[in-house]
Structure 1
Amino acid sequence: MLKNYFKIAFRNLFKNKVYSSINIFGLAVGVACCILIALYVQNEWSYDEFHSKADRTYRAWVNETTPEGRELLNTATPVILGPTLKDNIPEVEHLTYMFSFSNLVKTPDAQAPFDENILVVNKDFFKIFDFDILKGDPGNLFINPSSIVISEATANRFFGNQDPLQKTLSIRLTDEYKQFTVTGVVENPPANSSLDYRILMPDQNLETLISERGRNSWFNIFGSTYLTLQEGTNQADLNEKFDSMMKGVFGEDFFTNQDYKVGLQPLTDIHLNTEFPSAQASVSDPVYSYILAAIAFLILLIACVNFMTLSISKSTSRAKEVGIRKTIGAIRQHLMYQFWGEALMMTLIAFLIGITFAELLLPFFNDLSGTELTISYGAGTLGVLLLTALAVSLVAGIYPALVLSGFRPIEVLKGRLNLSAEKGGFQKVMVVFQFSLSIALIIGTITIQQQLNYVQNKNLGYQKDQILVLESGISNTPQSSPADIFEQSIRRKQILINELKASSEITSISTSSFTPVQTGGWFQMGFRDNQDQPKNFHGNFVDADFIPTLGIKVTEGRNFSEENPSDARQAMIVNEALVEYFGWENPIGQRLPGPEFDQHEVIGVVENFHYESLHTPVEPLAIVMNPDILFSGISDLGISNSFDPRYSFNLSTSNLSQTVSQLREVWAQVAPGVPFDYTFVDQSLDDQYREERRLSRIVTTGSVLAIIIACLGLFGLASLMVIRRTKEIGVRKVLGASSGNIVFLVNKEFTKLVAIAFVIATPIAWYAMSTWLQDFAYRIELGFGIFLLSGLLTLAVAWFTVSYQSVKATLINPTDSLRSE
């Protein structure tokens, strides 16, 4: 009997080639989408779980509450926090402070250095994290301050196939190179690691990189503190100990009208938790993972619904088969097994094709999502795929099996088969469900695209086209004198101007510690005003050409002037947000209201410009030519980005490649041995919203596939309707109905279904997109036009799909349709 079931299944599969192909293709596409998106989501949700101590490893955070009630939460922590935790919290098993910076690295005999990311850690780093040590003695990696551990990729870059152990690298610290010996090679960080590294340096070098004052201040933050707790320790039980520890540090009086809390964030929580600042870790918005997981599930669900709809639409062609088999003794249970078995067979074929699709599309998906995912076929993966195939076949095939096996033999053989309104209603519900999801996905796609267009085209308050930003290569660390470093960049800039004065393609050149395209923000500075109240603002060091080079608008006062020597000593320009923050009615001539600041005065006010991404509002900003003005009066300093000086070139040329080549040649003469590391402002702005752009592409692709699969289901339902109403159409044509009347008759019912789907999808999509847009401080308004456009697009697609069956119905000869008994 089982053999006959398979024979019948294969005969039906090949007899109805178009129907089978549509069903299998729809499921295969759904399976491929599910596999690819599941790989991405699983990678996102598995960040840092490969560490054996991940369940008891944490990143410390500090949260300062000012007397005015403002909370300053940071995962970049003071250097002194680590030793304080070690001395006061016995539950801390291992602890390392991580300080990340970039600088020039080369082999002793190399001419051109590389700009490398360097991570300063202590020997506990490898006791906390399970990064495999490929070469070297794990117990003697940091035997002295001149020892370094490098990643496998770094070893290949500098030494090729040679053994890197005991070889030396020259790393520039402050303004000179220092020799370091390679004592170990560690694996490249996995794709699902929130920590990245190229070179690991022992923390004894912090004395060179960060001043003693910076290392001992609770309000200067540079790096991050990671630790593991002893087994059996409950993180929540440590809160009281942290509070007691901080009272011992600051004294009881400090907490009268302010607070300073220390807490721990689980390691596995870091990557998908945007409530904490990212600091040095890789952080992703979990909303994107949820959206993609939902899209994968919905595409597969639409494919299953499509399978059911098409199966029921073909049920009339197998009615006599069911009637005859029941007449000769077949019971309903066996018929159900057969039809469900056919569904299982088609599902397995679809899964095999879907896995093939997934393998073929994986490179494209990796490019789309910016990942390096691979599909592994272990026992666990194969088991999940098989169980999923069984579940899908059950969901997709059980209802058609119930319908087909329930036909009554006498009615079937007498030609009185009538698909009840209940079954037709179920199909309509499925179509409404499919198109509700499709409309919601279209609304999401259009909204995301419009927001990204808004971000790209919004006036950011500065010129972003044809502005080239070049790294100066002048090292700047917290230990360095900012004024001396900035003075060096000014001198190098003057040499550049002299070398490029004959070039008409370069309008102006400026130097600054930060530019608007850097991730991580500018200086975060805090001080106590004349009433001993904490105040906070952002800062930047610039030259007189910075504002005109970037086209920033001065709304009051004037720009810096090199013709006025006092500007280089004591002038300050602020933005409108800082004027509002301090409540200045007449800002010109004002000074920051802190008693410790060196002599200075505000000479100008610039329009608020977006020096950070549009995710955050424009905050108070002060820019000066003399760094000592700001450093003299602040008590808090946050640095989440390198502030090595940078040069901004305003280019007025259509031949950018030629101009860049000219700059490269001049740079090689002006700064020999320093990499020509540049970027364009508009390209960097695009990179700031890379994650949103990837989401947009994936959602758009998912929406197109969902609509295609939904249209296959609609095609099946239209087929069923035409078959069911064959005689009615014939009678109408005999009575004089035109082809247009027939097309309208068939399309009218589906128009109602799309309208119902639109009503259902609109509030769901509005809520989802409103929530997503909340992540942007500057965003579009969700107007009704987006929803109307999505509904009309879906309706147009539905009409196009159904019209094939409508036109086909008009071509039926009334004589044939009325003789169809």
Structure 2
Amino acid sequence: MLINILGLSVGMAASILIFLFVQHELSYDKYHDKSDRIYRISRSFFNQNGEVNLHLGHLAPPFGPLLKSDFNQDVEEVVRVLNTNVVLKDEGNVFEERRFYFSDPEVFNVFTWEVIEGDPEAALSFPDGMVISESMAKKYFGNSEAIGRTLEMKIGQVSANMQVRAVMKDVPDNSHFKADFLASMELVTDFYGGYEAMMKNFGSNNFGTYMLLKPGVDIESITAQIPSFLNRHLQTGNDGTLPSTWTDLHPWAITDIHLYSNLDSELEPNSSIEYVYIYSAIAIFILLIACVNFMNLATARSAKRALEVGLRKVLGADRQLLIRQFMSETIMMTFMALVLAVALATIALPVFGDFTGKELSMNLLDHPEYLLGMLALVVLVGMLAGSYPSLFLSGFQPVKVLKGTYKIGSIHEKLRSALVVGQFAISIILIVAVMVVINQLDYMKNKELGFNKEQIVVLPAYKELVDNYETLRDRFLQQPGIESMALGSRIPSGRLLDAQGAQAEVNGELTVMDIRLTDIHISHSFMETFGINMAAGRDFDYQLASDSTEAFLINESAVRAIGWASSEDAIGKAMHYGPRRGYVVGVVKDFHFESLHQPISPMIFMVPDERFNEVAFRLNADNFDQSIAYLREEWTALRPDFPFNYYSVADRFDQQYEAEEKVGTVFGFFAGLAILISILGLFGLSAYATEQRTKEIGVRKVMGASILSVVLLLGKDFLKLVLMGFVLAVPIAWYGMSNWLDGFAYSISLSWLVFLISGFIALFIAALTVSSQSIRAAMINPVDAFKVE
């Protein structure tokens, strides 16, 4: 009984934790009062062949007002938010804030965010107006009044004094984006050169755009009108090409964004519905293993209750009454297991919450539905675990039981064996999953990227640094620990989101390219700093002034996409890219600019005199800490009003695999629980089996049987079941993990060695469990064995 309750409680505790996680994932953005009518609009771009080459979760600034005016019959409100990193200064304290958003004043008419004080819509109507979260109010002002206080804001070269005009509660954790600050959109309008200029800019796709439908409006009616909307407002091509043939807009229900939207740009990283399915499957697997344990142990010990059943039937109890009795007993045991499971889950919840990064709670007062869910779990597990034992026990024939001639039928023995097979098949599947995830993570973290990512730190570029780059570069390179320095519009480990129209010389003629050629603006020393090798031609040369106005570098993928025969063939070919007219001077070897989730894109590099966003330093490993200290000192002197916040390229690549790393850890943790539960069941079954064969063991020992032969006799049947579980698990695990690996542009190949090791682990654990009971039985004195009733 203790093993049964312990096994059930561990399985239920794991399921409760997973249920809390899944419930949290499915609850994203549902707290908004109008969530069923809120849609985020995304924008996609097509190649000439109709394939999507870029899909952004952001729109250009004019789309919001135009959608509101064109669809005013169906749309109640359209609001835009623009996320940017800002530096805020208050009484000498300087902080870089990443959850700073500019927004339209009507944002509070769409989203349900609780306001503590002030009028948020009025606040955002002032050019210097700002709404801040409760936690930010405490961070900057402590317990003092926040309304009316001023913070100095800096974005690049732009400075402004922002006045706190409203305070709201922190945005709930289950939101697809979390704003700590909301500022007036008027500052952004001024940045674009005024409202008229802003309404002509269809290329700056940086605005999260949300549409609130009027009650009863079907989103499909608006979706059907999007092509004509685009053709009406965007410019038709010189050849008469309609805008709807190269771009499109897509509405997303706000409650779908977190689990279904993983576009090329998002306000914050989202999760995936696949992980909800994976975690849910693990919970079901563990519950099944726990239920199988209960059924096996209950039926295995059936002889203990055979006499009771026989007597009750003789005294008039019918089978339905016995079934109800046994089911009631099972549900009572399940309830006891639930009490222990809740205690275990409560202890583990803080650790599990920290690991998942979610604010998980099991507060029954705030969530009474959790109590109903737990009671439903008791009934479900009780019915599932108790159904077969109840039918089995209630089916005993009283005449045979009372005569002592009742034997458990072979069909019941086979069913119990099948349950053990299924139990270990699930355990082996989880072990395989753990090993595959670990191997894939190791592959991604250690795969050659085509450049050297180690010891590169990156800081934000700024105007004075760019204007005086050569002077500052010479100064920084005099520091022994700094090996190289370069500027870039984007840095490896980021996303490639910039692209313009391209023409290339193919067969002697300039041909319009129907491919997306992503651009990176770099300084002359970029390739040297990142250790990127040339495939053909040369790197940019600082001594050649024309390299800053006419020259292009491309990668090998671009050569293939354009259709040139080889990297050498590309050298000297004419190219037009955006407004620049020039020629290819070099081809760099392919390297992974983005994570291994994405394939290597065709890329083009150029040296401009603007659009540098970041500066990268390659540091010497032996002097890394000293170099960081030097950069901090220099940065503080050069930019006293900005904090020294850098990131490591190697670390940022690793961070892109956090989701997979968490999956691997979850698999490992719950696979361990599944094995633990299986061990408990196997321990109970083997203990009972050895107990039933005690006299046989005594006879065999009198006849000269060795301890080893007795151990093999008792253990071989169980180990056969584990081997059968392995055979069952292999194709299922192979199919599941193959599908998971298909989600990566670059992945490992499934090796038979993974399955062999997983099977060996399960077999070893089972052998250890069974042998502990078998050795104990084999060591018994034959005289004592014959005394057993």
Asked if 1:717 is matched to 2:685, the reply is yes
Displacement of 1:220 after TM fit? 4.0
Structure 1 partner of 2:213: 229
Structure 2 partner of 1:507: 483
Structure 1 partner of 2:390: 401
Cα 1:541–1:244 change in 2 (3 A) is closer
Instruction: Identify the match of residue 539 of structure 2 among 535, 559, 574.
Output: 559
Structure 2 partner of 1:6: none
Q: Which secondary structure state, in structure 1, belongs to the residue aligned with residue 486 of structure 2? A: strand
Q: Which secondary structure state, in structure 2, belongs to the residue aligned with residue 82 of structure 1? A: helix
Cα 1:336–1:599 change in 2 (3 A) is closer
Mapping 1:372-391, distance limit 5 Å: 372-378=359-365, 379-391=368-380
Cα 1:497–1:377 change in 2 (3 A) is farther
Q: Which secondary structure state, in structure 1, belongs to the residue aligned with residue 186 of structure 2? A: helix
Structure 2 partner of 1:482: none
Asked if 1:795 is matched to 2:778, the reply is no
Cα 1:539–1:123 change in 2 (3 A) is same
Cα 1:695–1:494 change in 2 (3 A) is farther
Instruction: Identify the match of residue 315 of structure 1 among 289, 302, 321.
Output: 302
Q: Which secondary structure state, in structure 2, belongs to the residue aligned with residue 469 of structure 1? A: strand
Instruction: Identify the match of residue 103 of structure 1 among 83, 86, 92.
Output: 86
Mapping 1:570-585, distance limit 5 Å: 570-584=550-564, 585=566
Displacement of 1:600 after TM fit? 3.2
Displacement of 1:119 after TM fit? 1.5
CA deviation vs aligned residue, 1:711-762 (integer Å, no higher than 9, x gap): 2112222233324444444444444333222222222222321222122211
Asked if 1:491 is matched to 2:468, the reply is yes
Structure 2 partner of 1:539: 519
Structure 2 partner of 1:517: 493
Q: Which secondary structure state, in structure 2, belongs to the residue aligned with residue 221 of structure 1? A: coil
Instruction: Identify the match of residue 530 of structure 2 among 537, 547, 550.
Output: 550
Instruction: Identify the match of residue 746 of structure 1 among 706, 709, 714.
Output: 714
Contact 2:9 2:340 in 1 (8 A): yes
Displacement of 1:512 after TM fit? 2.0
- Structure 1 CA distance, aligned partners of 2:111 and 2:244? 39
Instruction: Identify the match of residue 135 of structure 1 among 117, 140, 162.
Output: 117
Structure 2 partner of 1:704: 672
Mapping 1:4-19, distance limit 5 Å: none
- Structure 2 CA distance, aligned partners of 1:499 and 1:527? 37
Contact 1:67 1:257 in 2 (8 A): no
Structure 2 partner of 1:635: none
Mapping 1:333-732, distance limit 5 Å: 333-378=320-365, 379-472=368-461, 474=462, 485=463, 488-489=465-466, 491=468, 494-495=471-472, 497-498=474-475, 501=478, 503-518=479-494, 520-527=495-502, 530-532=510-512, 534-584=514-564, 585=566, 586-594=569-577, 597-626=579-608, 645-654=613-622, 656-732=624-700
Contact 1:368 1:698 in 2 (8 A): no
- Structure 2 CA distance, aligned partners of 1:812 and 1:406? 35
Structure 2 partner of 1:145: 127
CA deviation vs aligned residue, 1:271-317 (integer Å, no higher than 9, x gap): 11146445224421211111011111211221111122122233333
Displacement of 1:259 after TM fit? 4.6
Structure 1 partner of 2:230: 246
Contact 1:214 1:220 in 2 (8 A): no
CA deviation vs aligned residue, 1:540-573 (integer Å, no higher than 9, x gap): 2222222122211122222233344433343332
Aligned AA for 1:184? Answer: A
Aligned AA for 2:460? Answer: E
Displacement of 1:251 after TM fit? 6.0
TM-score in terms of structure 1 length: 0.88
Contact 1:29 1:354 in 2 (8 A): yes
Structure 2 partner of 1:94: 77
Structure 1 partner of 2:8: 27
Displacement of 1:358 after TM fit? 0.9
Aligned AA for 2:716? Answer: K
Instruction: Identify the match of residue 155 of structure 1 among 137, 143, 162.
Output: 137
Instruction: Identify the match of residue 179 of structure 1 among 161, 167, 171.
Output: 161
Q: Which secondary structure state, in structure 2, belongs to the residue aligned with residue 95 of structure 1? A: strand
Contact 2:87 2:94 in 1 (8 A): no
Q: Which secondary structure state, in structure 1, belongs to the residue aligned with residue 621 of structure 2? A: coil
- Structure 1 CA distance, aligned partners of 2:170 and 2:496? 27
CA deviation vs aligned residue, 1:360-405 (integer Å, no higher than 9, x gap): 1111101221222111203322122122112212222233233334
Asked if 1:114 is matched to 2:96, the reply is yes
- Structure 1 CA distance, aligned partners of 2:49 and 2:307? 82
Cα 1:52–1:111 change in 2 (3 A) is closer
CA deviation vs aligned residue, 1:156-178 (integer Å, no higher than 9, x gap): 22222222212222222451311
Aligned AA for 1:105? Answer: L
Q: Which secondary structure state, in structure 2, belongs to the residue aligned with residue 123 of structure 1? A: coil
Mapping 1:224-303, distance limit 5 Å: 224-249=208-233, 250=235, 253-255=240-242, 258-274=245-261, 276-303=263-290
Displacement of 1:444 after TM fit? 0.8
CA deviation vs aligned residue, 1:77-124 (integer Å, no higher than 9, x gap): 2222222212221211100122222122223x4363434442121122
Asked if 1:125 is matched to 2:107, the reply is yes
Structure 2 partner of 1:805: 773
Displacement of 1:676 after TM fit? 0.6
Q: Which secondary structure state, in structure 2, belongs to the residue aligned with residue 525 of structure 1? A: coil
Displacement of 1:490 after TM fit? 5.7
Cα 1:364–1:493 change in 2 (3 A) is farther
| Matched-pair identity in % | 34
Contact 1:103 1:116 in 2 (8 A): yes
Displacement of 1:76 after TM fit? 1.8
- Structure 2 CA distance, aligned partners of 1:523 and 1:775? 24
Contact 2:487 2:612 in 1 (8 A): no
Contact 2:488 2:520 in 1 (8 A): yes
Cα 1:59–1:176 change in 2 (3 A) is closer
Structure 1 partner of 2:742: 774
Aligned AA for 2:551? Answer: A
Cα 1:654–1:36 change in 2 (3 A) is farther
Q: Where does the alignment leave 5 or more consecutive residues of structure 1 unmatched?
A: 1-19, 475-484, 629-642
CA deviation vs aligned residue, 1:207-255 (integer Å, no higher than 9, x gap): 3333666742444422221111111111112233223323333569434
Structure 2 partner of 1:49: 30
Instruction: Identify the match of residue 48 of structure 2 among 59, 67, 79.
Output: 67
Contact 1:511 1:646 in 2 (8 A): yes
Q: Where does the alignment leave 5 or more consecutive residues of structure 2 unmatched?
A: 505-509
Aligned AA for 2:39? Answer: Y
- Structure 1 CA distance, aligned partners of 2:650 and 2:89? 31
Most deviating of 660-669 and 407-416:
407-416
Structure 1 partner of 2:507: none
Cα 1:610–1:442 change in 2 (3 A) is same
Number of matched pairs: 772
Q: Which secondary structure state, in structure 2, belongs to the residue aligned with residue 205 of structure 1? A: helix
Most deviating of 661-670 and 422-431:
661-670
